[in-house]
């Protein structure tokens, strides 16, 4: 299975980079996982709704160019569907079983994802009704993907 994570912005904090690197290393024996960082638009200190809409559109255009046509698209969004870890593992296993060999996860920037990307997605996934920094969500996502492989293979993993 090939997994692509398209994310807006670069990881700035060293501890987040180290965590992502650790999960990417662990995942390497299960799947080919690629992280693609899309440039984040700069905003004023107090952006207007129009400026936010423009930012989402510009970031969305860059994301759109990176999405493969043959992928199953999963966007992380607060309004998405919440799944338990076993349910997420089951979903990934079903996709693999039914021939979906390429998955793409989208993580938006500070203002989320352009609505056109959410509409295009095969699944909107939420980790919580709470708001988290988009850089931290990358770590959460990689950990949950790793946990899913462990669950699906019946391998032990700490709780």
Q: 2-152, superfamily in CATH?
A: SPOUT methyltransferase, trefoil knot domain (3.40.1280.10)
Q: Which residues in 128-151 are b (16+ Cβ under 10 Å) and which e?
A: eeeeeebbebbbbbbbbbbbbbbb
The reported pLDDT for the residue numbered 132 is 85
The reported pLDDT for the residue numbered 43 is 87
The reported pLDDT for the residue numbered 18 is 96
127 is in an annotated binding site: yes
The reported pLDDT for the residue numbered 159 is 60
108 is in an annotated binding site: yes
71 is in an annotated binding site: no
Tokens of 24: 């990417």
1 is in an annotated binding site: no
99 is in an annotated binding site: no
Mean pLDDT of residues grouped by 10 in the chain (159 residues)?
A: 95 94 96 96 90 95 95 95 96 92 94 94 93 90 97 85
130 is in an annotated binding site: yes
The reported pLDDT for the residue numbered 121 is 97
The reported pLDDT for the residue numbered 134 is 85
The reported pLDDT for the residue numbered 130 is 86
DSSP code for 9: S
The reported pLDDT for the residue numbered 99 is 86
105 is in an annotated binding site: no
The reported pLDDT for the residue numbered 36 is 97
> Helices marked H in the chain — which ranges?
14-27, 49-66, 85-97, 115-120, 134-152
Total residues found in the chain within this entry: 159
Tokens of 49: 């709704």
Q: CA-CA distance, 152 to 155, in Å (whole number)?
A: 8
- Structural contact between residues 59 and 114, judged by C-beta atoms closer than 8 angstroms: yes
Burial (CB count <10 Å: 0-12, 13-18, 19+), residue 104: buried
């Amino acid at each position: 299975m090939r997994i692509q994570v398209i994310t807006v912005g670069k990881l700035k904090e060293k501890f987040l980079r180290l965590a992502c690197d650790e999960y990417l290393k662990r995942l390497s024996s299960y799947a080919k996982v690629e992280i693609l960082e899309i440039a984040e638009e700069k905003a004023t200190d107090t952006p207007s709704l129009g400026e936010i809409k423009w930012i989402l559109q510009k970031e969305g255009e860059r994301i759109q160019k990176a999405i493969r046509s043959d992928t199953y698209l999963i966007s992380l969004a607060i309004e998405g569907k919440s799944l338990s870890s076993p349910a997420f593992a089951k979903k990934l296993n079903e996709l693999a079983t039914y021939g979906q060999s390429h998955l793409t996860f989208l993580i938006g920037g500070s203002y989320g994802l352009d609505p056109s990307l959410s509409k295009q997605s095969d699944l909107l996934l939420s980790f919580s009704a709470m708001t988290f920094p988009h850089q931290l969500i990358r770590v959460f996502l990689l950990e949950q993907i790793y946990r899913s492989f462990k669950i699906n293979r019946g391998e032990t993993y700490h709780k």
